[in-house]
Chain A
Amino acid sequence: KAGVTQTPRYLIKTRGQQVTLSCSPISGHRSVSWYQQTPGQGLQFLFEYFSETQRNKGNFPGRFSGRQFSNSRSEMNVSTLELGDSALYLCASSLSGGNYEQYFGPGTRLTVT
């Protein structure tokens, strides 16, 4: 069974631009969560989508948004990029919630210049 895939793996953008990251969950998984990893703040929860609905949201500004499609694939969008948005963005999928394990993708490394 294929794991969680994220595209692109690396991205360089300029301040003020916007970016869209993609995540394909493990087949059959309906929950997709996004996390931001930075050296200063560590791993922080962005949001979770389940059956195309945002089910949970972390403490990030409205510039960070996401969506999930009917095939469970998810995208996250960051508008008006700032230097501080440079990070590794990780996607995780699970069957649902509760005690189901979350499986992480390799991440997308975003650099904002």
Chain B
Amino acid sequence: GDSVTQMEGPVTLSEEAFLTINCTYTATGYPSLFWYVQYPGEGLQLLLKATKADDKGSNKGFEATYRKETTSFHLEKGSVQVSDSAVYFCALKAAGNKLTFGGGTRVLVKP
């Protein structure tokens, strides 16, 4: 079945540091890939998405590129802020409207 594996956290960074969260997937067919972010006490917010190979999703300084050859969708941000502290989820959607999520990565940015 479909699955998503992402690096375990927590990831602790200083402000303005470079952030990378690794995500790899297993799926039949050609899934769409997503990154969601969850702030404390809130639901999930879509951060970015990519629907086909080599697509780059970007939003709020975050980027991720759909790499079919390595089945990966790593999230990057060049300079993090304290406000980026949250839990980040990688997810895929293959058939239908069902999202399959990774385990989440907690990111803590210190001033």
Contact = CB atoms under 8 A, between A and B. Distances in A.
Question: Do A and B interact?
Answer: yes
Interface of A: 4, 31, 33, 35, 42-43, 45, 48, 50, 55-56, 58, 90, 92, 94, 96-99, 101-107
A45 B43 contact: no
Contact of B101 (A4, A43, A97, A107): A43
A80 B51 CA distance: 40
14 contacts: A35-B99, A42-B101, A42-B103, A42-B104, A43-B91, A43-B104, A45-B98, A48-B96, A56-B98, A90-B44, A94-B97, A102-B97, A103-B46, A104-B45
Interface of B: 32, 36, 41-46, 49, 51, 89, 91, 96-104
Given A42-B104, A43-B89, A58 B98 contact: yes
